[in-house]
Amino acid sequence: MKKIYNFSAGPATMPESVLKKIQKEFLSYQGSGMSVMELSHRSSLFQKIIDDAESLLRELMEIPSNYEVLFLQGGASLQFSMIPLNLAKHKVAYINTGLWSKRAILEAEKIASLEVEVIASSEDKSFNAVPEVPMVAQDNDYVHITTNNTVEGTAFFKLPETGSVPLIADMSSNILSSYYDVSDFGLIYAGAQKNIGPSGLTIVIIREDLIGLNKSLSAMLDYKTQADNNSIYNTPPTFSIYTAKLVLEWLKDLGGVAAIEKINREKSTLLYKAIDESALFRAPVEKSSRSLTNIPFVTDNDELDKQFIKEAELAGFVNLKGHRSVGGMRASLYNAFPLEGVQALILFMQQFEKKITKG
Ligand SMILES: *Cc1c(COP(=O)(O)O)cnc(C)c1O
């Protein structure tokens, strides 16, 4: 098999040892004669998988006992709707930092009775940094933030002051990649396919007092139904939950969030340094807002960008094309992306630059 490095923004690189473990136990899960895909979601074997996944996540993120962990479907995108439906009464505040936060704002605005205020935005800077966030008015039902902006490559390194207003975070692209104090948040959500496992699973971590506020919701859209039924009100994405459990075990064995954060800092520091030292490549994001997990870079020449992406792919560096809304290149370096891959990419970039400037 050809060795490649996959820089995809999601679904993304998985730890190789996890893929091997899945392969090994794929046909008969723990001697049951059944694949994990064939287990009933009400079986004791699956119950143990989902219980283990939850307790590993609680341990890794130090989730306090007054928070529920929910395993849902519909992607982070369904949370854009579920959050206002469940938590909003009159008025909510959003921070606009790019494509995904805009989508979240759009869904909140569809709720007719709701006043949606964008209290900070970096749209005037083409989202190349995160904005200063003013103190949040205390009559808001919540404030929504995207902690890491996957498309634009920006991240918040300081959380806004929200007083007693619950802070709601879309952590889809940086959950478990650096430390957060869960008690700073009312709710954290993330699609699994970037840092946790395959697509099909969405993690929601919600403070208990925020569950059951809206009594007139459809069962599947209501956090209370999901919490009361321990995420198996209906059939959950069993295979994705199983895989997530293996990834969480892998992360725990590695030393947990503190250990992976150190590696993630090393990976991103190396790549930013190489980009900053280059005469050909440039990082469009302001230094103070640079994401650890999604790193855009450009040559400021569309044809050269295209050539670089094409030659990189031939050399085994795949999915380096930037999001269609911003162009250029983007390297996504989630937890499972290896340090050697970053080192190899840097070498390739240097060789490309030498070739281009010589020509
Ligand atoms: C990928 C992503 C989403 C969308 O996730 P889906 O699971 O595809 O709905 C939302 N927010 C952020 C920050 C993302 O990175």
Q: Based on the residue annotation, tell me whether 252 is a catalytic residue of this protein.
A: no
Catalytic residue among 141, 170, 222, 305: 170
Q: What is the DSSP letter of 137?
A: P
What is the bridge-based pairing of β-strands 91-96 and 143-146? parallel
pLDDT at 219: 97
Which protein residue has the closest C-alpha to ligand 1 atom 12?
172
Q: What is the DSSP letter of 292?
A: S
Q: Based on the residue annotation, tell me whether 250 is a catalytic residue of this protein.
A: no
Give the Å distance between the CA of 325 and the centre of ligand 1.
15
Percent of the chain with pLDDT over 90: 97
| Residue 286 pLDDT > 80 | yes
pLDDT at 192: 97
Position with higher pLDDT, 357 vs 84: 84
Alpha helices in the chain (DSSP H): 16-24, 44-61, 75-87, 99-109, 223-228, 238-254, 256-277, 302-314, 339-358
Spatial distance between the Cα atoms of 32 and 131, rounded to a whole number of angstroms: 53
Q: Based on the residue annotation, tell me whether 170 is a catalytic residue of this protein.
A: yes
How many Cα atoms occupy the beta-carbon half-sphere of 67 within 13 Å?
24
pLDDT at 2: 79
Spatial distance between the Cα atoms of 117 and 22, rounded to a whole number of angstroms: 45
pLDDT in tens, 33-82: 999 999 999 999 999 999 999 999 999 999 999 999 999 999 999 999 99
Spatial distance between the Cα atoms of 108 and 103, rounded to a whole number of angstroms: 9
Per-residue buried b or exposed e for 137-164, using 16+ beta carbons within 10 Å of the residue's own CB: eeebbbbbbbbbbbbbbbbbeebbebee
Q: Which two tokens stand for residue 103?
A: 């989508």
The residue whose two tokens read 């094409």 is 310
pLDDT at 359: 66
Percent of the chain with pLDDT over 70: 100
pLDDT in tens, 152-181: 999 999 999 999 999 999 999 999 999 999
Which protein residues touch ligand 1 with a CB less than 6 Å away? 10, 75-77, 100, 146, 150, 170, 172-173, 191
Cβ neighbours for 144, distance < 8 A, ≥ 6 positions apart: 83, 92, 93, 94, 95, 101, 104, 105, 108, 168, 169, 170
Give the Å distance between the CA of 103 and the centre of ligand 1.
10
The C-alpha R_g of the chain, in whole angstroms, comes to 21
Give the Å distance between the CA of 229 and the centre of ligand 1.
25
Give the Å distance between the CA of 244 and the centre of ligand 1.
17
Which protein residue has the closest C-alpha to ligand 1 atom 5?
76
